[in-house]
Every structure is written in structure tokens, then in C-alpha cells.
Amino acid sequence: MPSAALAGDPELTARELKDRIVAFVRGAAIALTPYDEPLLPQLADLLPMETDVYVVHPPLSKLEYVARTALAVRGYGWQAYPHLVARELTSEPQLRNALGELRAGGIDRILLTAGDRNSPAGPYVNTLDVLATGATVDCGITSIAFVAYPEGHRMIGPGLLWDALAAKQAFAARTGTRAHVVTQFGFHPRAVQEWVCHGRERGITLPVHAGLAGPALLPKLIRFAMRCGIGNSMHALTRSTSALTHQAPLTMTPEEMLVGLVHSRGDDAAIARPHFFCFGGCLETARWLLRVREGAFELTDDGTRFAVGA
């Protein structure tokens, strides 16, 4: 392992960097889909108890499947964050029934997002519409994750995104709901830190969970995206790498992203933890995370990435 101070932080040695990576990854969350439910017994040997496990609602799935998988996740002792997609909800009774079922199964937290559907299936256009019903409070949801886009959103301008996030933060403060932000996965760690700084200037103080793409092989990611109807996410990956205006190089692997995030966050706890999007590679991601948590990796000489041991 290199011993000299590393680029990006002249005071940070290789040992200190490795220790910070291990500490950062110990709080990592991962995202599954209902299609991953059969793999939960294998994941039980890889993920620590109380790990935050998010259950994504793919466009070709149904809320009932998301709820079923989330309840199974909770049964393994992990903290389940089922995704509720505002534009997929057909009615307030459906919303309240789903929340009630989750709460009865020991789940008191959700990720709430608007979704990409052009025409809403019911009365909710965005997450603020869902929050306005009061259903999350009435049904005992105590923690809500919201999605953010440090590298921009193709359909919504930055001003509207900031205004919406401020309204969500105000809702959390008003109702006593714990809230944090999960960022869309990206390839520029400094963009996340810059986004956090811009948020602070606007009074946004919510903890940030930085989104990263997991280490699964690209062909598998593409096959899974097509199978689950999340091709837009894969196109977004391509767009995000070509549309960036930052001068720093892109980081295309989770190893590079983690090193970059640890460097850019420094001692700032605003970026609380990493959040891994698995895209069908949940077992690969969980095995990789286990090795990183154990410190079974070596940094390169320049300290910009690392290699995980077998």
C-alpha cells in the first residue's frame, strides 16, 4: 500500500484514506427490486443486520410486489425502504392501504419519488401531492427518503428541484418525520459535494446518501434493465457521462467513486453514507461490499482507486 500523502488531500495518508473508506462503507445501503426476492436467503450471509435495503418499484412491476418484497426484507432483520412512486398510485385508498400493510409488518420508512410516468395513474403528480394527504403521518411512517439529482434532471429545472426539496424538508420539520436525500447514481463525486454546498446556501440541511452504481458487469446491467423496464435508467447513465460540464475526470467504477467521495467529503458529515444501485447485481454488490467493509482491498499507488481481494 502506498504510504505517501495522496492527491486530493495533501494531509491524508493511504492508511487514513483506507480507514475512511471502510468506515464510510459500513453504513452502505443497497437497492433491490421485487425480482431479487428469491436471493434474500443468500444476501442474509452478506449484509449486516439493520442494513438499509431499498426496494425499487420498476415500471413493469406493481406496488403489491414492492410491498411483499419489502416485508420479506424486514423479516430478515434489515431496514426496508419500499419505493412509493407518486405517479403510479391510483387513489388515496390504495396509498393508505399500502402504508397500513407496511406498518403492520414492522416497516415505518419509505422512499417517496414522483416517477417517470408521463400521465399519472391517479391524483398524484409529484411527491408533495402525496405528502399533502397526510397519509404518511396518519399511517405511522416515521422516516422518508427523497430523491435528488446532483447532475441535473432531464425534465425538471434546478430551481424547481430546489424549491421542491425545501418544501419536503419543511414537511419533515413540521411533522417530526425523519428525512434524508438519496442522490441519483452518477460518475462525478465532486458534483455531489458541490450540490451539498449549493443546498446549504439554500438552507437544505437534510443528510445525503450518495448514489453509486454497483460493481456488476455492464452486460448484466443492460439485460436486467431491459427485463425490468428500467431502460431509461441505462440511457440516463449514458447521458450523464456525456452532459457533464465539470473539468475533473469522470469516475466510472464504484472503487473510483468511493475514493472520490471520501476525498471530497473530507470531515463533512453531510454526505452520510453511500447508496448502491445494484441493477440486478445485488449478490455481486453485497459480496463486494463485504470485502470492502473487511478492509480486504489495496489502494493504487496514486490513491485514486482500489482493488478488492478475492
105-152 confidence digits (pLDDT tens):
999 999 999 998 889 999 999 999 999 999 999 999 999 999 998 877
CA separation for the pair 100, 102 (Å, rounded)? 5
pLDDT of residue 242: 43
Mean per-residue pLDDT, 164-192: 92
pLDDT of residue 5: 38
pLDDT of residue 251: 57
Q: Among positive and negative, which fits the CA dihedral 250, 254, 255, 258?
A: positive
pLDDT of residue 263: 84
Cell readout for 62 is 406493481
Confidence of residue 286 (pLDDT cuts 50, 70, 90): very high
Stated as kind and residue range, the H or E segment containing 6 is: strand 5-6
**Residue 218 near residue 237 (C-beta atoms within 8 A):** no
Scan for cell 420498476, then name that residue: 58
Mean per-residue pLDDT, 232-251: 46
Mean per-residue pLDDT, 29-39: 96
pLDDT of residue 240: 45
Looking at the predicted structure, is the pLDDT value of residue 236 above 60? no
Q: Coil, helix or strand for 76?
A: coil
Scan for cell 400521465, then name that residue: 119
Q: How many domains does the chain have?
A: 1
Confidence of residue 156 (pLDDT cuts 50, 70, 90): confident
CB neighbours of residue 245 within 10 Å: 8
pTM of the model: 0.87
Q: How far does CA 11 lie from the centroid of its chain?
A: 30
Confidence of residue 101 (pLDDT cuts 50, 70, 90): very high
pLDDT of residue 6: 39
Stated as kind and residue range, the H or E segment containing 174 is: helix 158-175
User: How do 5-6 and 208-213 pair as beta strands?
Assistant: unpaired
Confidence of residue 220 (pLDDT cuts 50, 70, 90): low
pLDDT of residue 214: 87
CA separation for the pair 227, 230 (Å, rounded)? 8
Confidence of residue 4 (pLDDT cuts 50, 70, 90): very low
More confident residue, 160 or 309: 160
CA separation for the pair 231, 163 (Å, rounded)? 28
| Alpha helices by DSSP H, 13-126 | 14-25, 40-43, 63-75, 92-104
pLDDT of residue 219: 63
CB neighbours of residue 31 within 10 Å: 24
145, 151, 152, 158: CA torsion to nearest 10: 80
CATH number at residue 70: 3.20.20.220
CA separation for the pair 303, 310 (Å, rounded)? 20
Domain region containing 105: 5-308
Cα angle 22, 69, 77; round to 5 = 50
